[in-house]
Amino acid sequence: MVSMKDIARACNVSVATVSKALNDQTDIGEQTRELIKRTAKEMGYFPNAQARALRTNRSYNIGVLFVDQGQSGLTHDYFSKVLDSFKMEVEEHGYDLTFINCSKKNRTRYSYLEHSRYRGFDGIVIACIDFNDPEVIELVNSDIPLVTIDYMFNNKSSVISNNYGGMQTLVNYVVNLGHRKIAYICGDDTAVTKQRLAAFYQVLEENSIEIPEDYVLYDKYRNIEGAQKMTDKLLDREDRPTCILYSDDYSSLGGMNSIRQHGLSVPEDISIAGYDGVTAASMLEPRITTIRQDTVGIGKAAAKKLISLIERPKTTLVEQLVIDGSLEEGKTVTKV
């Protein structure tokens, strides 16, 4: 294994100078730094992770706690893109990612906090999990720097998509096109759902629009079959809605299936809109009207906040960062 002594001998400099060059310190000449870095690369030198950990008191490893209840895992369009953006940002700062073991089939497994201690994580990002799980709460209440995505704890930093503002934009768009009979097939009863539902009712109230209580139905997120059944219920009504909003773009696909099976067309007979702005939605015909969430911005903001909490804990503010999405008008909502 190539050592700094070998590089120092090859470059005819001291080991201290090699160390300064490889750590980008400024008190050596630029030509010397470039020579040392080039020589180190040619000789196949890699820094010793254990030595760096001892020197800096960091592992340069960040834990990721991610459990998708829909079992789609990292194929989940929204969270996969958020985590990819997060990964790119932390890697630029020299950190690696490790997923925390979430399998509860193994009776001898560590808790989330125990696993994090065992791995020596410098910080943790949490996304898409049961935030009421006692193990999650134990982890959140620990002294490990931590950021949550799309969920807020009072004592921890979080990065959330502006679900309230996004839903306001979407409902206002539908209302401005003349719709008054608007139904909403929500997702599970989560904090995100509550925010969007509050915005939904707020815009209706501001426009003096009253709808039947059973125009609002609950179903799981990203459940095409479930959304299709909920849409069947709405279309079988005598006073069926003119527009149906869905919790996400995948659910809107189930809605389109139901509408077609009823011999109706989108948007000529029924208007629909989704949420998230997944790639698949933009490839359909007609293209789904939706709110595109800024997954890149969310991931990057979460990474920057967590790295700041790790490296500058005394000066980093614990706060909630809200990232706006944007309306994509699509072709599935028409004027009444």
The band of 71, judged by pLDDT with boundaries at 50, 70 and 90, is very low
For residues 26 and 291, which has the higher predicted lDDT (pLDDT)?
A: 291
If you average pLDDT over residues 194-216, what whole number do you get? 96
For residues 186 and 106, which has the higher predicted lDDT (pLDDT)?
A: 186
Query: Of all helices (H) and strands (E), which one includes residue 192?
Result: helix 191-206
What local confidence, expressed as pLDDT, does residue 221 receive?
A: 86
Overall fold of domain 4-47? 434 Repressor (Amino-terminal Domain) (1.10.260)
Helix (H/G/I), strand (E/B), else coil: 160? strand
Quick one: tokens of 297?
């911005």
Instruction: Specify the residue for token string 């690369």.
Output: 41
The whole-angstrom separation of Cα 224 and Cα 312 is 45
What local confidence, expressed as pLDDT, does residue 272 receive?
A: 97
What local confidence, expressed as pLDDT, does residue 102 receive?
A: 72
What local confidence, expressed as pLDDT, does residue 315 receive?
A: 96
pLDDT of 29-43, one tens digit each? 888 989 998 998 888
Query: Quick check: do 61-161+296-325 and 163-292 share a fold?
Result: yes
pLDDT of 119-178, one tens digit each? 889 999 998 778 888 999 999 999 999 999 988 888 899 999 999 999 999 999 999 999
Strands 290-292 and 326-328: antiparallel
For residues 68 and 306, which has the higher predicted lDDT (pLDDT)?
A: 306
Overall fold of domain 163-292? Rossmann fold (3.40.50)
61-161+296-325: CATH homologous superfamily? Response regulator (3.40.50.2300)
Q: Which sequence spans correspond to the domains of the chain? A: 4-47, 61-161+296-325, 163-292
pLDDT of 248-305, one tens digit each? 998 999 999 999 999 999 999 999 999 998 877 777 789 999 999 999 999 999 999 9
332 with 260: CB under 8 angstroms?
no
